[in-house]
Amino acid sequence: MPLMRPLDPTFPIERQLAVDASPVVLVNVFTLDKADEQTFCRAWQDDAAFMKQQPGFISTQLHRAIGESPTYLNYAVWESTAAFKAAFAHPEFRAKLTAYPSSAVASPHLFQKVAVPGICVA
């Protein structure tokens, strides 16, 4: 199971799950030992296949840091915090976390789009 280390220690994922928001984007940064990359990718793929079947799931994309850094970023879009919370708390998903290598550290955080006039829409 990956160690959970919040991006913002004052507002960890457990507190974010109580906020009613939609849509939301999960950004999850993973750090791990280079030797564990294949194990990590298999575990993430299995998780993503499960999440893809959950109500409210929209999309996901895994990114790897460039160069020699074994750092990954998962970007997933959900219809709402409630939909993500239900999937995140699902016993089958929770059991899948044991497949991650012990070196993995996950830093999940939920976001919403911000409108910036002339640049991007929310």
Task: Name the burial class of residue 99, with classes exposed (0-12), middle (13-18) and buried (19+) by CB atoms within 10 angstroms of its CB.
Answer: middle
> What is the rounded CA–CA span in Å between residue 66 and residue 102?
22
The single-letter DSSP state of residue 7 is S
pLDDT tens readout for residues 28-85: 999 999 999 999 999 999 999 999 999 999 999 999 999 999 999 999 999 999 999 9
ω into 117 cis (within 30 of 0): no
In this prediction the pTM is: 0.94
Q: Look at domain 3-111 and name its CATH class.
A: alpha beta
Query: Taking a C-beta distance cutoff of 8 angstroms, is the pair 13, 6 a contact?
Result: yes
pLDDT tens readout for residues 99-111: 999 999 999 999 9
Q: Where are the domains of the chain?
A: 3-111
